[in-house]
Amino acid sequence: MKCWRRGPDWLGDFPVVVTGASAPRVTSVIMTVEATRFADPHQRTDNGHARGGRPVIGISSYTERAQWGTWDTPALLLPRRYGDSVAAAGGIPVLLPPFPGIEHAALRLDGLILCGGGDIDPAEFEAAPHPETGGIRPERDAAEFALVSAALERGLPLLGICRGMQVLNVALGGTLHQHLPSVVGHDGHCPIPGSYGSHLVRVAPGSQLSGILGGAGQLDELPVPTHHHQGIDRLGDGLIATAWAADGVIEAVEFAAPEQTGQRFALGVQWHPEAGTDPRLFRALVAAAKSLAGAAA
């Protein structure tokens, strides 16, 4: 059903579609022209994009207790590698904290990265928690589901990394394997506590991912940095798998018909490109974001 929800003071009210628990989490967010005008600050162009030609890439961050100097307190965190990768690719990285209403920042972004991290609450895909499921942060789940909804509504270029790919899948009604060693019989996807392992992935020829990482007929398998104990079980609505590990675990997803969804760039990878030496996924995201910003100018 459709109901009205109160947004921030500068945005006003907007309608959202409320769905049942078993339906995709993505909602339809409808913004008025007047609302987007009020959202534009003085340092942005009339279409809301950054001046200077460098696209603004939002990166989801999270809240954890942290220590630095003499301090030991809750902090907003993001491994620096994400920001470094975006900056090296020509984008401007902006951290997005897991606060209510953070999805409205999508009006001022040119692209979005959903980063890795702890497990999604299995209640979000109607499952009981596995004994090994942990690190659940409900406020982060809520913020990132809302960011996915806003990004898809706007057609923002989107890259989901590790947990981020899983968030995209669950947001679209998919489910997860909560502990892969119980499914595949080994811990090769997370072999080293506190560090990254490596394994090969096979990429589907003709996919958007293949075009970025090698092109049709040029790519068979490639090594990737890995650290995850969960993975995709049932694919979300509209998604297809485009890379797999040797044990059959899904390692990448994209939309089956991007021309119909309006998502010119929307990918999820189970590995951690920010921890490797291959910058092509970040370059492709920034290029897509720059194209979007230029089209809106």
Domain coordinates of the chain in residue numbers?
2-296
Beta carbons of 269 and 281 less than 8 angstroms apart: yes
Query: Which pLDDT score, from 0 to 100, does residue 26 have?
Result: 64
Q: What is the DSSP letter of 173?
A: T
Q: Is 39 exposed, middle or buried (0-12, 13-18, 19+ CB in 10 A)?
A: middle
Active-site residue flag, 42:
no
What's the predicted TM-score (pTM) here? 0.83
At 23, is the pLDDT very low, low, confident or very high (cuts 50, 70, 90)?
Answer: low
**For residues 251 and 224, is the Cβ–Cβ distance under 8 A?**
yes
Supply the pLDDT for residue 220.
72
Helix, strand or coil for residue 127? coil
Q: Is the pLDDT of residue 2 over 50?
A: no
Q: Which residue has the higher pLDDT, 46 or 289?
A: 289
Phi/psi at 267 (nearest 5 deg)? -135, 150
User: 25-39, 113-127, 169-183: which has the minimum mean pLDDT?
Assistant: 25-39
CATH superfamily, domain at 2-296: Class I glutamine amidotransferase (GATase) domain (3.40.50.880)
> Is residue 4's pLDDT more than 90?
no
The residue with tokens 């650290």 is: 227
What mean pLDDT do residues 156-180 have?
Answer: 98
Per-residue pLDDT for 125 more than 50?
yes
Average pLDDT over residues 196-201: 96
Report the DSSP pairing between strands 176-177 and 92-96: unpaired
For residues 235 and 42, the answer to whether their CB atoms sit within 8 Å is no
In whole angstroms, give the CA distance from residue 168 to residue 253: 9
Catalytic residue among 162, 229, 251, 254: 162
pLDDT of res. 258 = 77
What are 225's strand-pairing partners? 198
- CA atoms of 33 and 191, how far apart (whole Å): 50
Could you tell me what percent of the chain has a pLDDT over 90?
73
Pick from 184, 179, 182: nearest CA to 133: 179
Residue 190 falls in the annotated catalytic set: no
Q: What does pLDDT average to over the chain?
A: 85
- Do 121 and 28 form a contact (C-beta atoms < 8 A)? no
Per residue in 57-82, pLDDT tens? 999 999 999 999 999 999 999 999 99
Percent of the chain with pLDDT over 70: 78
Helix (H, G, I), strand (E, B) or coil at 146: helix
Alpha-carbon span 23 to 173, nearest angstrom = 6
CA–CA dist 222, 255 (Å, integer)? 22
- 177 catalytic, yes or no? no
According to the model, what pLDDT value does residue 214 have?
80
3-state secondary structure of 85: helix
